[in-house]
Amino acid sequence: MDIFKARNITNLERGKFSALLGEAHQHIIAGLLMRAGFFVAAAPVRTEPYDLIVIAYRDHKNRPDEKVLLRTQCRTVSKGKSLRLVGGVRAGIDRDYRHPSPKEYKYTEEHNDLIVAIDEDDFSLYIVPTRLTKGWGKSVSIHKLELFRNRFDLLLNWRDEYLEQCSSGSLTENLLSEQTSLGLLEEQDSHCA
């Protein structure tokens, strides 16, 4: 059996499985970030609007000792679907299906610093700074998030000018070559160019 294709082989009730899948993906996100060399910790309180604390760098190349703690919300996405940018609603067995939920809110920097979504099919990570979602609605198409797919360089350069250049699509050749030298981009690949 292909472990990446295994889906609910124990036939759990749909709501229970959905909650379990969310937990699994949170651990996979943490593992992938750790495998890339970042320190990650589970959030100390489960009721906060973030799941992980990720230690990122303001400018890893020039100031590797200058680190920043990022409150990180984990999400699961599917091909052709959307990334939901809201909290206050539960998945799983306790879910209340009233729409809109009276507790629902859109994520802002008050809630978390980073949203990391994992593609449930290929485990790609969409690394999205919460500040860049300010003008977005409550969800965004995965197709529109391609710019943020596997963007570990954002965690190496967590500073205003870098994040703004990326969001506006105006990264310089210098920044692109930095990503390529780190092995984050193929020569022909240019996420932000």
Give residue-wise pLDDT tens across range 23-48.
Answer: 999 999 999 999 999 999 999 887 78
What's the mean pLDDT when you consider all of the chain?
82
Give residue-wise pLDDT tens across range 57-104.
Answer: 999 999 999 999 999 999 999 877 889 999 887 654 445 555 555 688
Residue with tokens 């009721």: 47
C-alpha span between 159 and 167 (Å, rounded) = 12
What pLDDT, on a 0 to 100 scale, did the predictor assign at position 179? 47
Give residue-wise pLDDT tens across range 142-176.
Answer: 888 888 999 999 999 999 889 888 766 544 344 44
Is the distance from CB of 20 to CB of 7 less than 8 angstroms?
no
CATH of 14-158, one of 3.40.1350.10, 3.90.850.10, 3.40.50.300, 3.20.20.300: 3.40.1350.10
User: Phi, psi (5° rounding) for residue 95?
Assistant: -65, 135
